[in-house]
Amino acid sequence: MKPTSALLAALALLAALPVLAASAPGARAAILDGFAERARAADPGFEGFDGERGRALFEGDWGLGKPDTPSCTTCHGPDPRRAGQTRAGKTIEPLAVSVTPSRFTDPDEVAKWFFRNCRSVLGRECTAQEQGDFMTFATGL
């Protein structure tokens, strides 16, 4: 390999690094964009997502859904940076993206868990606004 081609290869690798690194954040951004789109469709006055509203949703003691799961923290625990535990004893990886980088990267999983867990805790499905706020909260930790 000539020095120039080696240099080119190294440069190509360097150029690819941000793309590789960006794949998870990229997937998250796409999911969040989807929520934003739906939130705007539901409310033309949509002003973006707010991590603090997400935190309130996470920490709230709702008690509106199933009796055994009054709050997100019932299973996720009070600190999203730490692991939680299901009622059946399985460990739940921390919600915080900074600790669990794979969080909110698979749209089907995100849809499935919001559907189930909002119904378990709130007794209804969450709005796009709520889901985007929650995701913003978990991503910003």
Question: Rule CB under 8 A: which residues touch other proteins?
Answer: 65-69, 85-90, 108, 112, 115-117, 119-120
Minimum CB separation of residue 22 from other proteins in Å reads 26
CA 79, CA 97: separation in Å to the nearest integer?
13
CA 107, CA 30: separation in Å to the nearest integer?
9
Minimum CB separation of residue 125 from other proteins in Å reads 10
Residue 44 vs 89, nearer CB to other proteins? 89
Minimum CB separation of residue 102 from other proteins in Å reads 13
Minimum CB separation of residue 89 from other proteins in Å reads 4
Residue 72 vs 136, nearer CB to other proteins? 72
What are the DSSP calls for 53-121, one per residue? Answer: HHHHHHH-----S-TT-SSTHHHH-S-TTS-EE-TTS-EE--S-TTT-TTTT--HHHHHHHHHHHHHHH
Residue 51 vs 65, nearer CB to other proteins? 65
Question: Tokens 């499935």 sit at which residue?
Answer: 112
Residue 47 vs 108, nearer CB to other proteins? 108
